[in-house]
Amino acid sequence: MSSEIPHPPGIPILGNVFDVDPKDTWNSLIRLSEQYGPICKINVLGKQLVFISSVALLNEICDERRFRKCVTGPVVVMRDLANDCLFTAYDNEQIWGISHRIMKPYVSSATVSANTSFTDMATVIPDLTKKWTSSPQKRVLFANDLARLLMTSVVQSFYNQRIHVLDSEESPPLIEAWESITQEAMLRPTRPKLLTWLFHQGKFTKDIQLMREFAEKIVKSRRDNPSQDRDDLLHALLHNSDPVTGEKLNESRIIDEVVTMFIGAATSANLVTYALYYLLRNPEKLSKARSEIDSIINDSTDQIKLAQLNNLSYIEAIIRESLRLSATAPGFNIEPIPTESKAPILLAGGKYQIPHNQAMIAVLYTVNRDPDVFENPEEFIPERMLGEKWDALPKGARRGFGNGKRECYGKMWAWRWSILTLASIIKDVDFEFADSEYRLTSNGAFTVKPLEFYGLVSPRKR
Instruction: Please enumerate, by residue number, every residue annotated as part of a binding site for heme.
Output: 408
The answer to whether 143 and 442 have CB atoms below 8 angstroms apart is: no
Segments of 310-435 assigned E as strands: 331-336, 345-347, 352-354, 360-363, 429-433
CA dist., res. 282 & res. 163, Å (int):
35
Strand partners, 433: 455
DSSP secondary structure letter of residue 73: T
CA atoms within 13 A on the CB side of 237: 27
Quote the crossing angle between the two packed helices 201-224 and 173-187, to the nearest 10°: 140
Known binding positions: 408
Name residues whose C-beta falls within 8 Å of residue 361's C-beta, 6 or more positions apart in sequence: 29, 49, 50, 51, 52, 331, 332, 333, 334
Helix (H) or strand (E) holding 47: strand 47-52
N-term to C-term CA, the chain: 65
CA dist., res. 126 & res. 142, Å (int):
15
Strand partners, 430: 458
DSSP secondary structure letter of residue 11: B
SS3 content of the chain, % helix, strand, coil (to 5): 55, 10, 35
Give CA 325 to chain center in angstroms: 14
Q: Count, in order, helices (H) and strands (E) of the chain.
A: 20, 12
CA dist., res. 246 & res. 243, Å (int):
6
CA dist., res. 70 & res. 92, Å (int):
11
Buried b (16+ CB within 10 A) or exposed e, 295-322: ebbeeeeebbebeebeebebbbbbbbbb
Which is nearest to 1 in space by CA: 359, 343, 349, 342?
A: 349
Strand partners, 125: none
3-state secondary structure of 187: helix
Phi, psi of 27 (to 5 degrees): -65, -30
The answer to whether 125 and 423 have CB atoms below 8 angstroms apart is: no
Buried b (16+ CB within 10 A) or exposed e, 333-347: bbbbeeeeeeeebeb
